[in-house]
Amino acid sequence: MSLVRIWVIAANGFREVIRDRILYVIGFLAIVLAFALRLLPEISVGADGKIFLDLGLAATALLGAIVAIFVGTGLINKEIEKRTVLVLIPKPISRTELIIGKHLGLSGVLGVMVAVMTAIYLGMLVWAKVEFSLLSLIVAQVYLFLELALLTAVAITFGVFTSSILATLLSFGVYIMGHISRDLLQLGKISNNSNIEAITQGIYFVIPNLERFNLKNTAAYGILPSGIELFTHALYGIVYIILLLGIASVIFSRRQF
């Protein structure tokens, strides 16, 4: 495996996604936040600052997830449909390098998106004179990026063996289940049904627990989890990404073109 080849693939993937005008999502966020600043004081009763804090974090997370899923599921399928994969495979580029490079390229785009959207969001918070904890918000956005990188790995894994539409639906299913899997686990425990409990436990252990990276509520109140908790969540995300990319590489290596 060559780091140079992976870097070249990642850089080309980064430029390709940027050319798809994906960063117009940033402009959409700015418009949404601007409208929110204008309308919230009129429809809320003294709680517009807190609502705007929550809205900005939620909008950034949702838009990032949409980009990660829609673009991630098409990264490999696009190469297959355009038959460019037939040009890449005979070259000294392994399929694992292609998978990792594509993931790093899209993760780079998501990193830029999260950084720019966070800067716009913080600027509007300052302009609207809303009180907030800078450190808590930045940490929350860093973990949002880690969640999006994991979601990208999920999307790529589905994208290497299914159509883009089915991969998108499956990825959205993982996104939703990943945020409610802990609640499902508790529901299984109180159901007093061994079959339901076994199913919910299976879902909890197979589906990545995306709530580990959801620090929006604590950030809105200026609270930070402990350093140990942050470290374990980050390690969990990195290990899961490596595992998913490994699975995607194995599946992709067995495909015939």
- What is the CA angle 213-105-230, rounded to 5? 20
Q: Give the integer Cα–Cα distance in Å for 97 and 249.
A: 9
Q: Which residue has the tokens 């929550």?
A: 54
Domain with 203 in it: 3-253
The CA distance from 90 to 199, in Å, is 43
3-52, pLDDT tens digit by residue?
777 888 888 888 888 876 777 888 888 888 888 887 776 666 656 677 88
The model's pTM: 0.89
pLDDT value of residue 44: 62
Q: How many domains does the chain have?
A: 1
Going by pLDDT thresholds of 50, 70 and 90, the confidence category of residue 53 is confident
The alpha carbons of the chain give a radius of gyration, in whole angstroms, of 20
The pLDDT of residue 167 is above 80:
yes
The 10 Å CB-count burial string (b at 16+, else e) for 181-194 is: beebbeebeeeeee
Range with top average pLDDT, 36-50, 58-72, 219-233: 58-72
pLDDT given for residue 94 in this prediction? 75
Residue range 124-147, pLDDT digits in tens: 888 888 888 889 999 999 999 999
Look at residues 143, 145, 138, 149 and name the one whose alpha carbon lies nearest to residue 114: 145
